[in-house]
Chains A and B, each alone.
Chain A
Amino acid sequence: MKQTVQKLFGVLGRPFETGGKLEKLHPLYEAVETVVLWPDRVTDVSPQVRDHLDLKRFMSFVILALIPPAVYGIYNTGYQGRLASGLSMDTAGVLWTGLLIFLPMLIVSYAAGLFWEVLFSAVRKHPVSEGFLVTGLLFPLTLPPTTPLWMVAAGISFGVVIGKEVFGGTGRNILNPALTARAFLFFAYPAQMSGEVWVRIIGGPGPAADAVTGATPLALAPTLATGVRLEPALREAGYSFSTLFWGGYPGSIGATSAFMCLIGGIFLVLTGIANFRTILGGIAGVLGTGYLIHFLADPAASPWYSLNPFYHLVMGGFAFGLVYMATDPVTAPGMERVKYLYGFLIGALTVVIRVYNPAFPEGVMLAILFMNIFAPLLDQFEISIRNKRRVPNV
């Protein structure tokens, strides 16, 4: 089996070699080849032995961790779509509908993103980096199911080119590329990114009686009169705490279920791919700020003020953003202790943006991007303290 594959690549690879017809596309060929066949590179300098972990495995573990929210997202997207369209709700049908909605977005995201990756790799004569495989999957999961495909392509192009490649590619970017792509769409096409965009109507007899229509949980508060308490209003709109936790409501494809993000997060922390410090800090940030507002502000002044802070953890994309985007090692601080602070500030900013800025219903995206900018400063802060404690050696 291995010999056959090796031979096959030997034949297929010929046009991509130096002097071949497709020489320019060598990075693309190499990317495919090294995924299928592990490279046989051996050490040429000391140390003579190396660890088995590499970036391919590192990144593929993030993809593995994304499987629970992605699969649930497909199911939920199909479910909400069929519910709103009044179609039958059998599991196979629901999954099929979800796949029909999500797969084209995923394919467009990977194809458009890969085009730019390969283009930049070919020009720079670099190998294609595995980091893109994560970005290309993360991005469509953060989108509403109604996003047109051309918009997916535009978003991922912006994210890959401006968010990453202009800085030199994976490892050198200062902003999370998937979030950059999401933010681009959010500001460039606000109409398609907020409002009644969370359920894809797929034709059929019309909404069933219990179909959810109206505002998403995050957009609900600004619509309420002052003095109304948010929790009962959320429950009335069908967003009880458990619904928000399990994720059975309309929203961004992969980001509705805090439970699935929890599973992914536990997997990432146990395998050591994501740092638990950022995640703990983020949860503390949300709860700390949430309780501060809860206790200090007058509940009559805004519906948000009366909200139990635990709701913030399960609403919108916070769990998804914290687990999969805030922990991105490239854009997070590298130092251990400031990771708590970094996470904390992401959580705090998320709550502040949600509560005090009705123009942006989703705070986590902006909070993470904002803290990405501050990550090097936080690092500098900890490094300078650390350096002062060393006995100088020059």
Chain B
Amino acid sequence: MYRDERGVFQWLPVLTLVILSFAIFADFYIAGTDRLQGAPQRIFYIHVPSAWVAYFAFFLVFIFSIKYLARRNPDDDIRAHACAESGVVFCTLVLITGPIWARPVWGVWWTWDARLTTTLILWMIYVGYLMLRAYMTEPEQRARFAAVMGIVGFLNVPIVHMSVEWWRTLHPKPVVMRSGGLRDLPDSMHVALWSTLLAFMLLFVCFVRKRAQIERLNARVEEARAAREGA
């Protein structure tokens, strides 16, 4: 079950660190200062890539959950778990950076902006997923239930987003930043955005691999302990 890290992946954390350092440098020094928002806009380079990584993570949870139910391979369950946990980390980052960005720019911490609100609900769904796992002791049953939650939770994402969007548009809006879309960004900002995204993606892969590895070892420990006690 447990393999030593060999080959390309051995260097993954190092590569991640290098790219992450470059990305942080790019966020602060390469990207120009935004004319309207000034320095606070730089949080965009953390905020947006985190959101993308989080959504990608939850998509992976969905995929691994389906795979688990179809093939019952415990490793798919471990992967789904690792993705969910890492996804929640990035999702939390989105929810922390969102208000920090909103405060100086819009004057309020929280605006019930549709995208941020959807992310908040998503965060709650996947924290629920992790709690469900934490409260279950029977590994096979936990894997099945978590997979069900991983599938149903993800299917909800578009509906949640749609409902929150409508809910907001039917309300008087606070001063909402009019983003001109990614195409209007100057090149220097593109460098910052995409390098951060790459760094976060690699970081996410590192997290998931490490987490899955720990979980596999954990399973071996538990199994060995049970075998000793149960005999």
Tell me if chain B binds chain A: no
Report which B residues bind A (CB closer than 8 A). none
